Amino acid sequence: MNPARTAWLFLTPALLVLGVFFVLPVIAALGLSLTDYDLYALANIHNLRFIGLHNYWDLLQRPLFWSALGHTFYFVIVGVPLSIGASLGTALLLNSPLTRMKAFFRTALFAPVVTTVVAVAVIWRYLFNTKYGLVNYALAEVGVHSIDWLGDPHWAMPTIIAFAVWKNFGYNMIIFMAGLQAIPPELYEAARIDGAAAPRQFWHITLPMLKPTMVMVMILTVAGYFQLFAEPYVMTEGGPLQSTVSVLYLMYEEGFKWWNLGTASAVAFMLFFIIFVVTMLLLRLSRNGDAA
Amino acid sequence: MNARRHGWLRTALLAASLGLHGCGQPAGHTQTLTFWAVGREGEAVAQLIPAFEREHPGIHVDLQELPWNAAHQKLLTAFAGDTTPDIAQLGNTWIAELVALHALEPLQPWVDHSVEVDPSDYFQGIWDTNRIDGRLYGIPWYVDTRLLFYRKDLLKAAGFDAPPRDWAGWSRQMRALQARTGHDHYAILLPTNEFEQLLSLALQQDDPLLRDGGRYGNFESPGFKRALRFYVDAFRRHQAPVLANTEVSNPWAEFGHGVYPFYFSGPWNIREFRQRLPAAQQDEWATTPLPGPDGPGAGIASGSSLVIFQDSPHKAQAWLLIEYLSRPQVQQQLYDLLGDLPPRRSAWMGATLRNDPALQAFREQLERIKPTPAVPEWERIVTEMQLVAAQAAHGDLTVDQAAAEIDRRADAILEKRRWMLDHTQGQRR
């Protein structure tokens, strides 16, 4: 048996699984997005029509799609830097030789990642309750008028962002900690001998050495944050006044509330396309940075 | 939960007694009826079912409670997955959708042979919401409509002894009330994210909301525009605040403070006002039927119905449960538990319902409720209607522009229905 054939043999199980559970559904969904599969088609498949790119064209003309896209970008543009900042900050703190009880803090800060969104969302809804919430109580102590965090269209998204950042930063924190520990201590030693203070060490050693980690974390986080769904689903149901409807939430509503699976598939592919383009841009940017 | 435990207990007892006597029906004869109930009704009905199971020892009801915001998708998913229940509580605007799926059992033959369910005893408007293309698919369980809560003392202070009976009088009272108060006070609360208020006004018109057999929107009709203008004018004249209900944190207290002497709302608020307003104010508020363009007008007929699924193997037992839940005294029990209004006139004869002064306006209004168009797309259309109407209330669109925009959106939503009606007549089962 030649090596190439053996290699294929070893690959076959994985390829089969990928094909059946990933490639086929994706192709099916792509096909579905070119049809008007809806309630009537569910009743009788003869009511299904092939409509080409009509779903996509319709979406581009729908104000709700654009506002959902706007909310999603808002979430990504504000949420990702906050999330990465929090991860890097806590990773640096935990990595500092001065920190005590490292294991405890590492576990405590990582804990939100492994909790269930729905369970903690319930607690957050209590925390951010207008009347009885701890957050407004604390604000009242310092004289700030109470805010309707989840009921006011202007505050709902910031609250969702805070929740998502708190929920997710621990994961990247662990990756950053691994990255930090991989930086050779000699570099810092040399810098100290040359008289570089902590900020300069951070800027000229830590950040450049963390760059590969940073790029990966950035891409994963951006892709993840574009798929905002569970947080608004459990906290606000897209409200108030549709101010927390994300692209994925729109897809869910179209698909499972109204059973317009054709439109929902089109939304999914639009989102895929956007994430794809943004990821390519990020990769291109990071490569340009390398060249410079 | 309780009901289920009783059921097991009964099955066990039955089995034990069979063992002792060695005769009678086989133990496996107990039939399990799956009943999906939604929201608060799901919790309350658990207390009504043990009595039904006592009456029918051969039937065990497996009650499954769904939350309102998940019920709709759960029903559709159940249909797609062939796991529909035997019997379910259905928001009456969902019936048309499930009928389009051929998921529901036509109920007219069952009603024809029934002593308990008497169509003439039901309010006509709520009964009609269960008829799709002339066929009956659901039995109304409770009914819900919107009318005016008002402050007697504030109306009197403005020089009115009685609440309005028609739009002209209503406008006059709102103008007078608003003239008397400061700029953060209004005449009425119409939350801009609730469609029921505008829909009620629109149903008072003679023009239907959809035309050509539900093929197109009819929102540019003179009637709908009249309703929309009346609605929008309340905001333009600052008689109503341009607020969604999420922005009004405590409508009851604000009603108590006279921020809006009129509150266009539903029956559950009777209990809320009794609980939340101070005792001294309890005599100062009342309810009144909805004023119409000329004299008392129509209202919406929402609420839930009980339906039997086409695939159910226990239709006869499911019908027994519907009959039980439709009994006037059982409906009164439901009212006592939740405040849900009974859809049958005879159920209103009971003392609690007959003697409650705040309920009398609802009793009168229920004689004048009207169904909305029975098309599966209705819920989406009415959602769009309100989104556009809210824009008009904000002043972003004129009444004519808003009406045209609602028609445009409704026609887009109905596109598939038109195609279905025109091309696939022969294919429909």
Residue B420 has pLDDT above 50, yes or no: yes
Lowest mean pLDDT across A6-15, A174-183, B28-37, B310-319: B28-37
Backbone angles phi, psi at A114, to 5 degrees: -95, 0
Total structural domains within chain A: 1
Yes or no, beta carbons of A151 and B428 under 8 Å apart: no
- Reported as a single tens digit per residue, the pLDDT across B68-115 is 888 988 999 899 899 999 999 999 999 999 999 999 999 999 999 999
Q: Does A49 touch chain B (CB under 8 A)?
A: yes
Domain residue ranges of chain B, discontinuous segments joined by +? 2-144+301-355, 147-299+373-420
Q: Taking residues B349-353, what's their average pLDDT? A: 89
pLDDT of residue B12: 46
pLDDT of residue B406: 97
Of B69, B416, B429, the CB nearest to A237: B69
pLDDT of residue B26: 44
pLDDT of residue A16: 95
pLDDT of residue B63: 95
Taken in order B379, B381, B384, B390, is the CA torsion positive or negative? negative
Which amino acid would we find at residue B135?
Answer: R
Interface with A, mutate which of B416, B417, B429 (most A CBs under 10 A): B416
Q: Are strands B188-189 and B262-265 parallel, antiparallel or unpaired?
A: parallel
How far, in Å, CA of A165 to CA of A171, rounded?
11
Q: CA-nearest residue of chain B to A130? A: B249
Q: Taking residues B133-138, what's their average pLDDT? A: 94
Residue B300, beta-bridge partner list: B370
Q: A131-139 long-range CB contacts below 8 Å, 24 or more apart? A: A131/B249
| C-alpha B338 chain-centroid distance | 14
Read off the tokens for A110: 């990582």
Does residue A76 fall inside a structural domain? Answer: yes
- Reported as a single tens digit per residue, the pLDDT across B233-254 is 999 999 998 887 767 778 898 8
Does residue A240 have a cis peptide bond before it, meaning omega lies within 30 degrees of 0?
yes
How far, in Å, CA of B29 to CA of B31, rounded?
6
How far, in Å, CA of A268 to CA of A144, rounded?
41
How far, in Å, CA of B76 to CA of B84, rounded?
9
Confidence of residue A39 (pLDDT cuts 50, 70, 90): confident
Chain A residues with CB inside 8 Å of B419's CB? 49
Chain A residues with CB inside 8 Å of B244's CB? 240-241
Chain A residues with CB inside 8 Å of B416's CB? 36, 38, 40, 47
- Nearest-CA distance B50 → chain A (Å): 33
Q: CA-nearest residue of chain B to A146? A: B249
Yes or no, beta carbons of A46 and B102 under 8 Å apart: no
Read off the tokens for A161: 């962002």
Q: Taking residues A246-253, what's their average pLDDT? A: 93
Q: Does B72 touch chain A (CB under 8 A)?
A: yes
How far, in Å, CA of A73 to CA of A218, rounded?
15
Q: Taking residues A54-81, what's their average pLDDT? A: 93
- Reported as a single tens digit per residue, the pLDDT across B360-418 is 999 999 999 999 999 999 999 999 999 999 999 988 899 999 999 999 999 999 999 99
Percentage of residues in chain A having pLDDT higher than 70? 98
Q: Taking residues A87-115, what's their average pLDDT? A: 91
Q: Taking residues A147-173, what's their average pLDDT? A: 89
Find tokens 């800027």 and name the residue: A203
Chain A residues with CB inside 8 Å of B417's CB? 40
| C-alpha A197 chain-centroid distance | 35
Yes or no, beta carbons of A42 and B416 under 8 Å apart: no
Q: Taking residues B134-155, what's their average pLDDT? A: 95
Yes or no, beta carbons of A240 and B73 under 8 Å apart: no
B80, B81, B87, B93: CA torsion to nearest 10:
-20
Q: Does ipTM top 0.90?
A: no
Measured at the alpha carbon of residue B73, what is the angle toward residues B323 and A236, in degrees to the nearest 5? Answer: 115
For residues B1 and B313, which has the higher predicted lDDT (pLDDT)?
Answer: B313
Give the largest CA-CA distance in chain A. Answer: 79
Does residue A108 fall inside a structural domain? Answer: yes
pLDDT of residue B1: 38
Q: CA-nearest residue of chain B to A62? A: B409
Mean pLDDT of chain A: 90
Q: Does B100 touch chain A (CB under 8 A)?
A: yes
- Nearest-CA distance A44 → chain B (Å): 8
Yes or no, beta carbons of A44 and B244 under 8 Å apart: no
Which helix (DSSP H) or strand (DSSP E) does residue B359 occupy? helix B357-366
CA distances from B218 to B146, B222, B368, B385, B391 (A): 23, 9, 22, 11, 19
Yes or no, beta carbons of A39 and B101 under 8 Å apart: yes
How far, in Å, CA of B296 to CA of B166, rounded?
6
Report whether B108 contacts B387 (CB < 8 A): no
Q: Class assignment of domain B147-299+373-420? A: alpha beta
- Give the 3-state secondary structure of residue B147: strand
Report whether B188 contacts B210 (CB < 8 A): no
Could you list the residue range(s) of the whole structural domain that residue A146 is in?
30-291
Confidence of residue A220 (pLDDT cuts 50, 70, 90): very high
Residue A258 has pLDDT above 90, yes or no: no
CATH number of the structural domain spanning residue A257: 1.10.3720.10
Interface with B, mutate which of A258, A260, A261, A263 (most B CBs under 10 A): A258
Q: Taking residues A215-234, what's their average pLDDT? A: 92
Read off the tokens for A144: 């700030």
Q: CA-nearest residue of chain A to B77? A: A256
Chain B residues with CB inside 8 Å of A55's CB? none
Chain A residues with CB inside 8 Å of B409's CB? none
Of B80, B246, B419, the CB nearest to A151: B246
Confidence of residue B3 (pLDDT cuts 50, 70, 90): very low
- Nearest-CA distance A72 → chain B (Å): 21
pLDDT of residue A9: 93
Find tokens 């039927």 and name the residue: B289
Residue B16 has pLDDT above 60, yes or no: no
How far, in Å, CA of B345 to CA of B326, rounded?
12
How far, in Å, CA of B240 to CA of B259, rounded?
10
How far, in Å, CA of B259 to CA of B234, rounded?
15
- Reported as a single tens digit per residue, the pLDDT across A78-93 is 999 999 999 999 999 9
Does residue A178 fall inside a structural domain? Answer: yes
How far, in Å, CA of A156 to CA of A148, rounded?
8
Read off the tokens for A188: 């810092």
pLDDT of residue B98: 93
Residues 6+ apart with CB under 8 A from B84: B75, B78, B103, B309, B310, B311, B312
Q: Class assignment of domain B2-144+301-355? A: alpha beta
pLDDT of residue B23: 41
Closest CA to B203 of B172, B233, B224: B224
Does residue A8 fall inside a structural domain? Answer: no
Lowest mean pLDDT across A58-72, B3-17, B209-223, B244-258: B3-17
Q: Taking residues A146-170, what's their average pLDDT? A: 88
Q: Does B425 touch chain A (CB under 8 A)?
A: no
Yes or no, beta carbons of A47 and B79 under 8 Å apart: no
How far, in Å, CA of B412 to CA of B403, rounded?
14
Yes or no, beta carbons of A43 and B419 under 8 Å apart: no
Mean pLDDT of chain B: 89
Does residue A13 fall inside a structural domain? Answer: no
pLDDT of residue B361: 95
Yes or no, beta carbons of B77 and A239 under 8 Å apart: no
Confidence of residue B15 (pLDDT cuts 50, 70, 90): very low
Q: Identify the burial level of B278 via C-beta atoms within 10 angstroms of its C-beta, where 0-12 means exposed, 13-18 middle and 19 or more buried.
A: exposed
SS3 content of chain A, % helix, strand, coil (to 5): 75, 0, 20
Per DSSP, A50 falls in state B
**pTM summary value:** 0.82
Q: Does A240 touch chain B (CB under 8 A)?
A: yes
Q: Taking residues A266-290, what's their average pLDDT? A: 90
A160, A166, A170, A176: CA torsion to nearest 10:
80
For residues A38 and A130, which has the higher predicted lDDT (pLDDT)?
Answer: A38
Confidence of residue B5 (pLDDT cuts 50, 70, 90): very low
pLDDT of residue B425: 57
Q: Taking residues B175-180, what's their average pLDDT? A: 86
Q: Taking residues B116-127, what's their average pLDDT? A: 95
Read off the tokens for A258: 């109204």
Chain B residues with CB inside 8 Å of A240's CB? 193, 244, 246-247
Q: Does A258 touch chain B (CB under 8 A)?
A: yes
Report whether B80 contacts B97 (CB < 8 A): no
| C-alpha A152 chain-centroid distance | 23
Find tokens 């009709």 and name the residue: B221
Confidence of residue B424 (pLDDT cuts 50, 70, 90): low
Measured at the alpha carbon of residue A193, what is the angle toward residues A90 and A203, in degrees to the nearest 5? Answer: 35
- Reported as a single tens digit per residue, the pLDDT across A119-143 is 888 888 888 887 778 888 888 888 8
Yes or no, beta carbons of B249 and A151 under 8 Å apart: yes
Q: CA-nearest residue of chain B to A243? A: B246
Which amino acid would we find at residue A44?
Answer: N
Of B80, B247, B424, the CB nearest to A47: B424
pLDDT of residue A127: 87
